[in-house]
């Protein structure tokens, strides 16, 4: 194990990335444990407030990201310990910010509502992308001996990634940045019914495709989503408060 870590992480200069990866995961888990204890009103765990104003932990995350980011810029490039420490601080800050990503997206406190699951999705994506980078994979690279200009391949991959993401295939689009053939599959396959692509091209122009997309969603996608939600709620707690966004729509 020690030899693997030395040759794979330290010798390749990935120690800062590894520290960021570990700090991101540990800080996210610690944050979720803390907020669940606060919600359950267990022990001395309480929200941070100044007077009547609640201070969300995204505020501390932004500060830590600034400190870690600037420290990473000014530390000596040859100091792996210094860059690793800065990466740890940046990773902790990233976890705090991404854990309230839904608040940033909706500009409303939806932490325990259904929309709050977006924050957990954001953390999962960040962990997955960092893990792939840690494994040595690089986005938008193509090393299959093709004679095509690399710049043209990057443009083509980006175009396919945009199409895949517009079709609602977030995980396929993110993974495809590292494994380009997945982008071709995602771009060709039918869009998800709630995606922008389906809204633009299926609703009126092709109702049969929309019906087919809904059928696939209910038959294949929904069971997978239920498993994902069960795992997310096991890790992060139940997002069971009424959706304020839906309530505003009905008023």
Note down pLDDT in tens along the chain; length 251 residues.
678 888 888 888 899 999 999 999 999 999 999 999 999 888 777 888 888 888 999 999 999 999 999 999 999 877 888 999 999 999 999 999 999 999 999 898 999 998 899 999 999 999 999 999 998 888 877 655 566 677 788 888 899 999 999 999 988 998 898 888 899 999 999 998 888 998 888 877 778 888 888 888 888 888 888 898 899 889 888 888 877 766 565 55
Query: Residues 129, 154: one domain?
Result: no
Domain identity same for 97 and 176:
no
Q: Are residues 174 and 203 in the same domain?
A: no
- Judge if 80 and 159 occupy the same domain: no
Looking at the structure, do residues 57 and 155 belong to the same domain, yes or no? no
Q: Are residues 90 and 24 in the same domain?
A: yes
Distance in angstroms (rounded) separating the CA atoms of residues 71 and 78: 14
Number of independent structural domains in the chain:
3
Task: Indicate the helix (H) or strand (E) that contains 50.
Answer: strand 49-50
Whether 2 and 81 share a structural domain: yes
Residue 126 and residue 152 in one domain: no
Q: Which domain holds residue 176?
A: 146-189
Mark whether 72 and 150 lie in a shared domain: no
The Cβ of residue 45 has, within 10 Å, a number of other Cβ atoms equal to: 14
The answer to whether residues 206 and 121 belong to one domain is no
Which pTM was predicted? 0.82
Q: Other C-beta atoms within 10 Å of 28: how many?
A: 25
Statement to judge: residues 24 and 78 lie in one domain:
yes
158 contacts: CB under 8 Å, gap ≥ 6: 140
Consecutive H or E run containing 100: none
């Amino acid at each position: 194990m020690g030899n693997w870590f030395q040759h794979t992480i330290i010798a390749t200069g990935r120690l800062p990335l590894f520290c960021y990866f570990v700090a991101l995961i540990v800080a996210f888990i610690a944050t979720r444990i803390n907020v669940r204890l606060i919600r359950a009103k267990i022990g001395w765990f309480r929200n941070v407030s100044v007077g009547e104003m609640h201070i969300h932990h995204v505020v501390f995350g932004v500060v830590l990201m600034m400190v870690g980011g600037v420290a990473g810029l000014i530390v000596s490039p040859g100091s792996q310990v210094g860059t690793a420490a800065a990466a740890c601080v940046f990773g902790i800050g990233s976890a705090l910010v991404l854990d309230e990503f839904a608040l940033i997206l909706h500009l409303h406190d939806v932490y325990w509502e259904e929309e709050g699951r977006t924050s957990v999705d954001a953390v999962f994506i960040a962990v997955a992308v960092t893990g792939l980078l840690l494994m040595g994979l690089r986005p938008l690279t193509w090393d299959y001996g093709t004679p095509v200009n690399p710049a043209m391949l990057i443009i083509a991959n980006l175009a396919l990634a945009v199409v895949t993401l517009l079709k609602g295939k977030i995980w396929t689009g993110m993974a495809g940045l590292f494994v380009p053939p997945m982008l071709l599959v995602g771009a060709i396959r039918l869009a998800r019914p709630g995606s922008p692509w389906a809204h633009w091209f299926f609703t009126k122009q092709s109702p049969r495709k929309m019906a087919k997309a809904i059928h696939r969603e209910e038959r294949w996608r929904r069971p997978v989503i239920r498993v994902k939600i069960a795992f997310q709620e096991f890790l992060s707690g139940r997002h069971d408060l009424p959706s304020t966004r839906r309530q505003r729509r009905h008023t």
